[in-house]
Structure 1
Amino acid sequence: MNKQTNTSKLSRRAALGLGAGIGAGLVAAPLAAPALATEQGAVLEWKMVTSWPKNLPGPGITAQRLCDRIGKMSGGRLNVRLFAAGELVPSLGVLDAVGSGTAQIGHSASFFWQGKMPASVFFTAIPFGLLPQEHITWIEQGGGQALWDELYEPFNVKPVMAGNTGVQMGGWFKREINSLEDLKGLTIRMPGLGGEVMRRLGATPVNLAPGDIFPSLQSGVVDATEFLGPWSDRAMGFQKIVKSYYAPGFHEPNGTGEALLNKTAFEGLPEDLQAIVLEACQAENARSLAESDWENAGSLQALQEEDGVTVKFYPQDVLAALKSTSVEVLEEFAAKDDLSGRIHESYRAALKRLAPWSNVSLRHFLAARDGEA
């Protein structure tokens, strides 16, 4: 790195908003256009805030690897320092922190912003919706990215896919689910539209930050929880409290993680660094999905063979009720506002186009491979 005067360092920090509040309660002033970012050889320092405990298997590892990848691909011209949940801002404060300039990049999941923009849930997962590869196809080929950009525009944030934890599990339940009656009065950690489906069937959904789930399950604040898949769930330690692990993850058939880019900081980068950031996100999206599938398979086996966990399945009548209620929730959701309706219609069109191909290419092949055809 070339030596620079204190004045140039301060100018760069001011231009990028790096001198903004370093505590969770402080809000940075809007970022000015980072003029020095266009200087060849200039070294830029970004902050990443995340919703995850540091190095959590799955999204926590993805976030750190994304920081490392950007630094390496840029030849050290753009360095990203990671702040895990609670280190700079709260777990659920990532969107606001990035939009305001407290950090230039964040890593989270879109359904955490449901209270600010209900349609955000579509960009992680919706009940009985798109599988991981189908979701990627919608975002990249079916117009999903443009709608995602439009939704986040008022927050001064550009969202991009940057990680995927794959197909999710249904969750950890302290009591067996044998009928719809067993859902009534159940307090469950389940964000997104899946939580609303559960509510309509008599449960009480709560939205807990990842770091709050284990103590809430342990203390009895919640009777059940979902999180991600076996790899991340085992690392969180849920198997130490509960031994019944339910499938399928009707509420999250996909696990897209998002990189949130402060638009002012991102657009102020030279074109090659912008391309590096986007390509790093795309590369991490593919790598993390492969990693999640591999690690989930091994962790599921370990949960059963080493931890005494029993995998159980929702009864068919419960799944039928969950699906019919999901249709009602989505139809009501689509009527909220024009943008929500357009997102819902685009998502539904993608599902209608892709499902028959997935049925022919995947369902029947898997049945044949397993000797069930």
Structure 2
Amino acid sequence: MTDKTDIVATQPAKGAPKSTGRRKFLTGAATAAGAGVATVAMPQISRAQTTTLTMQTSWPVSDIFQEMAQQYADRVNEMSGGRLQIDVQPAGAIVAAFQVQDACHDGVLDAAHTVSAYWYGKNKAASLFGTGPVFGIDGAQLIAWFQYGGGQALYNELVQDQLALDVVGFYSFAMPTQPFGWFAEEPTSIEDVQGLKYRTVGLSADLNQALGLAVTQLPGGEIVPAMERGVIDAFEYNNPTSDRRFGAQDVVKNYMLGSYHQACESFELIFNRERFESLAPELQAILRYAGEAANTANYGLAMDNYSKDLQALINEAGVNVKRTPQSIMEAQLAAWDEVVAPLMEGDDLFRRIIESQKEWAERVGFYSLMNSADYKAAYEHYFPGKLTF
């Protein structure tokens, strides 16, 4: 319980005169009034006991995603004035990377910082909240759908009603398009990747299987060891910084940027529902809105690091960085249609999520694409010859 602030009355100084002249009386009254106003206006500082939430991520301690989770925690801690603290732990500290949702449901964890693709094995509709088909909108516009286009209600229906999970969740940080990934030989056509043992997650697994790849789903920390043992031939993870930090450039040298396999993903912030709802309403609001604040902070950190690490991969590690051929991306779009159609027929909720996203994308994508400047032309105007596509 918050303590009441003690208000101490100021007593007259010992020996002060018992009567004053009119001028002194008015002056004293004004001073006392001013002091009274100042006392009332003083901020009421909460002395409530600090609540600490244990949040585990799905990321290795060295991953930039762990820094992004900490950015979220820092904002919660500061915005709550110390009443709410989040203790951020890396993958494996308490449970495995793919087990954080179950741990939140069971109350083993208070919270988790993850992506919904990691639990798509429970219901493939999970992947639609970040790693589903691309309808012409980006990750920021998909988060906007979640907030304003009905996505939150559909997410709650999936998680709380259909899966009966005792969790509360929302989304933060619209990730840039994820690269197609790392290959021993530079692929120039879809035939070049067919038959490869390829790491990915979520519905991207279904997509790449439809394209003829043999898919293995692994957490980020297990990718390079799997590549070194020959368990996989090629892989994608997320971005140049994460990829460089876990040593992708040490096992393979061809890095293909641009893809439709995961072009709209965002972080998922989840909380044990009972724990979340036990908090005061203002603390619940802080947990939610700190995600929006972290969205901006994460993006700034990403742009600074991703761009620098991409240059380091090229100039220091000798990586061959290319844009994924248009023919492969066209094959991905066709494969998305093949993957999604039967899932829509067999799952009413999956169908309604897809229809909701397409309705949103048709309107929002039209505005965005009609209105966006030609950034590529502007870049080439000032930096001619840099781009190779």
Q: Please tell me the TM-score bracket, short chain as reference.
A: 0.7 to 0.9
What is aligned with 1:94?
100
Return the match for 1:160 from 142, 165, 170. Answer: 170
Return the match for 2:68 from 45, 62, 71. Answer: 62
2:176 and 2:329 map into 1 onto residues whose CA distance is 20
The aligned length equals 335
Give CA-to-partner distance per residue, 1:62-112, whole Å, 9 cap, x none: 112222222222122122212211110001000000011001110100011
Give CA-to-partner distance per residue, 1:333-370, whole Å, 9 cap, x none: 22232211111111111221122222222263543553
What is aligned with 2:53?
46
Give CA-to-partner distance per residue, 1:276-329, whole Å, 9 cap, x none: 111111111222123212321121111111110111233333222221111121
Give CA-to-partner distance per residue, 1:171-199, whole Å, 9 cap, x none: 00112312232222100001122221211
Residues 206-221 of structure 1: pairs in structure 2 closer than 5 A: 206-221=216-231
Residue 304 (structure 1) aligned with residue 297 (structure 2): no
2:345 and 2:47 map into 1 onto residues whose CA distance is 49
What is aligned with 1:256?
266
What is aligned with 1:13?
none
What is aligned with 1:192?
202
Give CA-to-partner distance per residue, 1:160-218, whole Å, 9 cap, x none: 11334322111001123122322221000011222212112211111101111111112
Q: Secondary structure at the match of 1:221?
A: coil
Which residue identity does 1:149 align to in structure 2? N
What is aligned with 1:225?
235
Return the match for 1:370 from 380, 383, 386. Answer: 380
Residue 358 (structure 1) aligned with residue 365 (structure 2): no
What is aligned with 1:246?
256
1:113 and 1:74 map into 2 onto residues whose CA distance is 31
Which residue identity does 1:322 align to in structure 2? Q
CA contact (8 A) 2:178 2:258 kept: yes
What is aligned with 1:148?
155
Q: Secondary structure at the match of 2:208?
A: helix
1:201 and 1:275 map into 2 onto residues whose CA distance is 43
1:136 and 1:201 map into 2 onto residues whose CA distance is 28
369 and 304 in structure 1: CA distance in 2 versus 1, 3 angstrom threshold? closer
Deviation at 1:48, TM superposition (A): 0.6
Return the match for 1:349 from 355, 359, 378. Answer: 359
Give CA-to-partner distance per residue, 1:246-288, whole Å, 9 cap, x none: 1212211123011111111111101111111111111112221
Q: Secondary structure at the match of 1:155?
A: coil
1:236 and 1:165 map into 2 onto residues whose CA distance is 19
Q: Secondary structure at the match of 1:322?
A: helix
1:235 and 1:204 map into 2 onto residues whose CA distance is 26
Q: Secondary structure at the match of 1:178?
A: coil
CA contact (8 A) 1:164 1:292 kept: no
1:340 and 1:44 map into 2 onto residues whose CA distance is 37
What is aligned with 2:146?
139
Return the match for 1:205 from 215, 220, 225. Answer: 215
Alignment TM-score, normalising by the size of structure 1: 0.85
Which residue identity does 1:56 align to in structure 2? D
Residues 282-361 of structure 1: pairs in structure 2 closer than 5 A: 282-361=292-371
Return the match for 1:278 from 272, 288, 313. Answer: 288
1:85 and 1:369 map into 2 onto residues whose CA distance is 39
CA contact (8 A) 1:166 1:256 kept: no
What is aligned with 2:182?
172
Q: Secondary structure at the match of 2:346?
A: coil
Q: Secondary structure at the match of 2:372?
A: helix
2:259 and 2:246 map into 1 onto residues whose CA distance is 18
2:173 and 2:370 map into 1 onto residues whose CA distance is 27
Residue segments in structure 2 that go unaligned for 5+ positions in a row:
3-45, 385-389
CA contact (8 A) 1:55 1:64 kept: no
Percent of aligned pairs sharing the same letter: 34
Residue 234 (structure 1) aligned with residue 244 (structure 2): yes
2:293 and 2:359 map into 1 onto residues whose CA distance is 27
What is aligned with 2:17?
none
1:100 and 1:217 map into 2 onto residues whose CA distance is 34
CA contact (8 A) 2:143 2:172 kept: no
140 and 366 in structure 1: CA distance in 2 versus 1, 3 angstrom threshold? farther
Deviation at 1:49, TM superposition (A): 1.3
Deviation at 1:40, TM superposition (A): 7.0
